[in-house]
Structure 1
Amino acid sequence: MPTAQPTIPGNQDVLLLIKLRMERGVIDNIINRLLQVRGRPGKQVQLSEAEIKQLCLVSRDIFMRQPNLLELEAPIKICGDIHGQYSDLLRLFEYGGLPPRYNYLFLGDYVDRGKQSLETICLLLSYKIKYPNNFFLLRGNHECASINRIYGFYDECKRRYNVRLWKVFTECFNCLPVAALIDEKILCMHGGLSPELHNLNQIKGLPRPIEVPETGLLCDLLWSDPSSDIRGWGENERGVSYTFGADRVTEFLQKHDLDLICRAHQVVEDGYEFFANRQLVTIFSAPNYCGEFDNAGAMMTVDETLVCSFQILKPVENKKPSKFGFGSTTTVKQSTTKAKLSFIIINEDGLKSWGIEETRAACLQD
């Protein structure tokens, strides 16, 4: 299987390769311990403080050696918000396949809200260290001290370890890349577009390490939201950044010769949701979010020909009989300059073709 290869400054750095080899045994041990709780939701894995600090320091070094705008190649699997729902992260890997069998891109928001942010971020950092050119993590708005100080991660670190460890994570999060470009056609970020984004090189030029400011390009990439209620730019109900209309998506894609914007940041009922005539997709990978929503989670796979398929992770609490279970919906990209998307869903009886509304309805039936 082809390997997703970013443009990595200093990728041949001998010292880095030696350092990674030195960590291999330690990393394998950590990963094995983190995976031992599969099938036991809520079971904690108590790594040592020294091990976690090592994960943060080594991954931070890798983040800084890779660009702020990752340049990746398909095939690759893309996941949205996880928010400390560790058992659901393990379910995603169970159905999607463990690295390095498949390449992964996560769109941020690994911590807060859920009960196991520490296990979640430690497994993700471990895979980043072990497979630096196959496993990629973007920054979300919750990978920010001012946010995760309030919404759970700080308290979890303090309760299970200490505040010093939370500060080590903060230094690591400040080095995360903020966007990825897949085969020069699919732009990925956590939040969305910015009125200040005129050229993709602006993303490459954002400094790191950096705290997320209250306004500006970096803030918008992590915080903005699409809105079907407006044209142009609007005020965001979050009190941070902007909302943007479908017209802004179309203009941006045309200007930069892109086909799709892929982002996370919002709970969507089916785990994925299209916007702007399927020119933007929101992916959310935490099913039954916070135990308060009856949403599915989703993971989008982009194959070598840029065919995008969605694997649906249903909430564990959903006990109703399901014909689909862990479903698969496929978006077919035609070989036209402006791709026309059609949809199919695979079930136990074989393959059926539907339009988007029928596909969404089918997903809701179970």
Structure 2
Amino acid sequence: MAAVREQACFGPKDWRIRERRGILDPFLKALSAFLRQRITRKNEKQREQNSLDRRGISFLIVEVSFERREGGFPPEANYLFLGDYVDRGKQSLETICLLLAYKIKYPENFFLLRGNHECASINRIYGFYDECKRRYNIKLWKTFTDCFNCLPIAAIVDEKIFCCHGGLSPDLQNMEQIRRIMRPTDVPDTGLLCDLLWSDPDKDVQGWGENDRGVSFTFGADVVSKFLSRHDLDLVCRAHQVVEDGYEFFAKRQLVTLFSAPNYCGEFDNAGGMMSVDETLMCSFQILKPSEKKAKYQYQGLNSGRPVTPSRGPVKKK
């Protein structure tokens, strides 16, 4: 969701690819270090992996954007990102490498969840594969695929806020099921892991419904209420859909959708949003207004026949 500003990543736009490669090299070294750490250790349950529990600290929950004036840099602020770091602009490499570098630098303050685009079968079509091939090589894309297959799926903030990229699943009965997901893993076409990355809330649905994406399900407000009650939670926080004001509530404020990329792919006039959570679990929102000078980016998935990121309700197009 490329909201990392250009000037924070590299210099003039007319630099050639070979010159930019020198800028990216330190970030790619950070990626290699990240993969050596593996995030996961096989056959060992680690609470941070598939479920994050952090007590007594404040969080900024976003998709992909942070600036000193908006949220502060780690370790001053803790960040939880909700996925979809690639396929969202022409600087996907800069975006994901910067995030991984911060994860290496501040492993206890910086957390990256997996989105549905952190999957080889998706970003192979939607643009990230082509960017890696054009600017580096296919081997780099395969390296990122190995990395994405290790990312955690969900997080729980202070035992009260459940966070994931997509939404809920009819297969999810207890949190231990998420912790038991063995990684590295690809994303299956159905089941718990697929739903956590792909499902969507729908105000016109009771229970579970068919998803227009052709993947996973939609779920109604009643599903959210039952889920929160069963697990003694207060809020579901997810991403996965464009919302006009950067955030949007659902199910009587029991679920919130965050979308942090303003002016999404140059197609929508939407704002971006990030959610701050303080020590008392008070949630507040910061809005990132779309830039009038943002160059239009042709999203590679628009004509691919694959499901694209939809909007929740009407969002003005440019």
> What TM bracket, shorter-length normalisation?
0.7 to 0.9
Equivalents in 2 of 1:197, 1:143: separation in Å? 21
Mapped contact 1:53–1:168 kept (Cα < 8 A): no
Answering whether residue 141 of structure 2 is matched by residue 166 of structure 1, we say: yes
Letter in 2 for 1:198: Q
Q: Of residues 234, 237, 253 in structure 1, which corresponds to 2:212?
A: 237
- Structure 2 residue 51 is matched with structure 1 residue 78: no
Which of the residues 257, 260, 272 maps onto 1:282?
A: 257
Q: Secondary structure at the match of 1:315?
A: coil
Secondary structure of the 2:281 match is coil
Q: How far apart are residue 41 of structure 1 and its match?
A: 8.0
User: Does the C-alpha gap of structure 1 residues 36 and 56 become closer, same or farther in structure 2, counting only changes over 3 Å?
Assistant: closer
1:25 aligns with none
Does residue 242 of structure 2 align to residue 264 of structure 1?
no
Shift, 1:48, TM fit: 6.8
Count residues with an aligned counterpart. Answer: 279
**Cα distance in 2, alignment partners of residues 133 and 262 from structure 1:** 20
Cα deviation 1:36-86 (Å, max 9, x = unaligned): 648x78988534776455333322325215422122233010102x4xxxx
Pick aligned residue for 1:63 from 28, 32, 39: 39
Larger Rg over CA atoms: 1
Q: Which amino acid aligns with 1:68?
A: N
Compare 68-77 and 131-140 and name the one that shifted more.
68-77
Q: Structure with the greater relative contact order (CA < 8 A, sep ≥ 6): 1 or 2?
A: 2
Identify the residue that residue 182 of structure 1 maps to in structure 2.
157
Of 109, 118, 135, the match for 1:143: 118
Contact 1:53/1:165 (8 A) holds in 2: no
Distance 1:69 1:47 in 2: 36
In the TM superposition, residue 246 of structure 1 has moved relative to its aligned partner by 0.2
- State the AA in 1 paired with 2:131: E
Structure 2: where are the runs of 5+ without partners?
A: 1-5, 42-47, 295-315
Residues 93 and 178 of structure 1, relative CA distance in 2, 3 Å threshold: farther
3-state SS in 1 of match to 2:248: strand
Aligned partners of 1:121, 1:273: CA distance in 2, in Å? 25
Give the letter for the 1:69 counterpart: S
> After the TM superposition, which residues 253-332 of structure 1 pair with which residues of structure 2 at under 5 Å, given as runs?
253-317=228-292
User: Could you tell me how far apart the structure 1 residues matched to 2:249 and 2:288 are?
Assistant: 17
CA distance in 1, matches of 2:227, 2:80: 22
CA distance in 2, matches of 1:113, 1:231: 32
SS at match of 1:238: coil
Alignment of 1:247-258 (within 5 A): 247-258=222-233
Matching residue's letter, 2:61? I
CA separation in 2, counterparts of 1:153 and 1:94?
Answer: 29
What is the TM-score of this pair, normalised by structure 2?
0.82
The answer for unaligned runs of 5 or more in structure 1 is: 1-32, 83-88, 320-363
Report the alpha carbon displacement of residue 233 of structure 1 after superposing the two structures with TM. 0.3
- How far apart are the structure 2 equivalents of 1:250 and 1:285? 25
- 8 Å contact 1:263–1:282 — kept in the other structure? yes
Amino acid of the structure 1 residue aligned with 2:8: L
User: After the TM superposition, which of the residue ranges 307-316 and 52-61 deviates more from structure 2?
Assistant: 52-61
After superposition, the CA RMSD in angstroms is 2.3
Q: In 1, are the aligned partners of 2:274 and 2:287 still within 8 Å (CA)? A: yes
C-alpha distance in structure 1 between counterparts of 2:147 and 2:62, whole Å: 20
Percent of aligned positions that are identical: 66
Q: Is the 8 A contact 2:38 2:150 kept in 1?
A: no
Query: C-alpha separation between the residues in 2 aligned to 1:97 and 1:34?
Result: 17
d(CA) in 2 for partners of 1:307 and 1:172?
Answer: 33
With normalisation by structure 1, the TM-score equals 0.72
Indicate yes or no: 2:8 matched with 1:35: yes
Q: 1:53 to 1:37 in 2, by over 3 A?
A: closer
* Preserved contact between residue 296 and residue 314 of structure 1 (Cα < 8 Å): yes
Task: Answer whether contact 1:49 1:165 (CA < 8 A) is retained.
Answer: no
Say if 2:130 is the partner of 1:155. yes
Q: One-letter code of the match for 2:117?
A: H
8 Å CA contact 2:27–2:98 kept in 1: the answer is no
